[in-house]
Chain A
Amino acid sequence: MLLRVLVARRLGKRYGEKRALRGIDLELPRGGFLVVTGPNGSGKTTLLRICAGLAQPTDGTIERAAARSQVGYLGHEPLVYRELTALENLDLYGRLYRVPERRERIGMLLERFGLWDARHERVASYSRGMTQRLALCRVLLHDPELLVLDEPYSALDEAGAELLDDQLAELCGERTFLLSTHDSARVERLASGRLALAA
């Protein structure tokens, strides 16, 4: 387990009568990059939520070597407050995650994702792509060991997607990734493993 960030055995999840996930085995070594693919309804989001610690499996076991503070999760929702500005949102999460040199780190991320000029605007006025960029800033803010990214390219335009490509390439090998996508070709060169879920 020392070199593995995540180990799941026969993982399953039911919501009442509905089975969302069945018999998943996975091992994610430190520095690994596992790409999860599958059609809609195959359980990608459920799997990622369990791996991030947001949901509990109903069957099987999961061991996570990364503490809660070392997990960065990007879901279908950006998990930011629409009535707050980008700066206020990141400042809140920075405080909760006790990010050292918080202001510098926030400034650097906002610059990198092209949101610096809009940092004082409320998120409600952002486009979906800008909100997704802000969500990525939130995920990267505390420099997590394990990044769980559920379709991170959704809503990003080409420039935003290239920024994300660069960020993933920069962190690849240093951080551990569990990423779901419908466009696996985009992360093909970074992937160290693949998990295809069936509907």
Chain B
Amino acid sequence: MNYVRDVGALARKDLLLELRARDTLPAMLLFVAAVFVVFHFTLPGTPSRLETSGLLWVAILFTALLGLGRAFVPEREQRTLDGLVLAPCDRSAIWLAKSLATLAFLAAAEVVALPLYGLFFHRVGGATVAAVALADLGICGVGTFLGAMAVVTRARDLILPLLFLPLAIPIVVGAVGASVVDSPGRYLGFLALYDLLFAVICWASFEYVVAE
């Protein structure tokens, strides 16, 4: 129960910080909208569902990267990670809370992105929405974990995409598959398995990421 309270307090702090600073969510919204507008005018003729499905996932992945890159910025700039690390709570609560806050920002961006995608390209089906939900969990969990690793390095802006994109390939495979096939169950199951596996890995090893 204490763990849940710690996660709640930390996630609330992250949401409050974004509400005050407003430097992550507006950037994500603008970016994802701009990507769809640009592709709408640059793609020739009427692109197929398969082609635009890939575009949707590229847009989601890079929008998420914007949010993930900023996830630990307050902790880096104000050196508050020391304060959180010293607190007697389980350190994985820091990862889980950050992941949930990033998930909230990404979900908010997708509330705009999916209707825009439907407007410019093809209608978004239930399977795609389910794939988005499952993919978001994996993106935010893994991305937040890697963001914590990258934030202490000098080349953090380079390191995060370099670490994250290879690990996101299975997400893209599962998500695009679920978006374009008639029976997406296998792909959704694959995404759920990815989420579960990486959630356990990140949860168990975050302690060592924030230790000196």
B 1-27 binary contact with A (CB < 8 Å = 1; else 0): 010011001100100110011000000
- Please report the total number of B residues contacting A with Cβ < 8 Å: 24
From B2, B5, B82, name the one whose CB has the most chain A CB atoms within 10 angstroms.
B82
State whether B13 touches A84 (Cβ < 8 A).
Answer: yes
Nearest CB of chain A from residue B72's CB, rounded to whole Å: 13
In this complex, the interface size class of chain A, counting residues with CB under 8 Å from chain B, is: 20 to 34
Any B CB within 8 A of the CB of A61? no
Which residues does chain B contribute within 8 Å of A82, judged by CB atoms?
Answer: 78
Which residues of B line the A interface, CB within 8 A? 2, 5-6, 9-10, 13, 16-17, 20-21, 74, 78-80, 82-89, 211-212
State whether A83 touches B79 (Cβ < 8 A).
Answer: no
CB within 8 Å: A-B pair count:
70
Which residues of A line the B interface, CB within 8 A? 52-56, 67-69, 71, 73, 75, 77, 79-84, 88, 92-93, 95-98, 122, 138
Nearest CB of chain B from residue A71's CB, rounded to whole Å: 7
Which residues does chain B contribute within 8 Å of A122, judged by CB atoms?
Answer: 20
State whether A138 touches B83 (Cβ < 8 A).
Answer: yes
State whether A84 touches B78 (Cβ < 8 A).
Answer: no
State whether A79 touches B212 (Cβ < 8 A).
Answer: no
State whether B88 touches A79 (Cβ < 8 A).
Answer: no
Task: Find the A residue at minimum CB distance from B9.
Answer: A95
Which residues does chain A contribute within 8 Å of B84, judged by CB atoms?
Answer: 96
State whether B83 touches A93 (Cβ < 8 A).
Answer: yes
CA gap between A96 and B21 in the complex, in Å = 23
Given A79-B79, A81-B74, A81-B80: A54 touches B16 (CB 8 Å cut-off): no
Task: Find the B residue at minimum CB distance from A123.
Answer: B78
CA gap between A68 and B86 in the complex, in Å = 6
Task: Find the A residue at minimum CB distance from B93.
Answer: A96
CA gap between A138 and B83 in the complex, in Å = 9
Task: Find the A residue at minimum CB distance from B85.
Answer: A54
State whether B82 touches A83 (Cβ < 8 A).
Answer: no
Enumerate 24 A-B pairs (CB-CB under 8 Å) in ascending A order. A53-B86, A54-B85, A54-B86, A56-B212, A67-B88, A68-B88, A69-B88, A73-B82, A73-B86, A77-B78, A77-B82, A79-B78, A79-B82, A81-B17, A81-B74, A81-B80, A82-B78, A83-B74, A84-B20, A92-B9, A96-B6, A96-B10, A96-B87, A97-B88
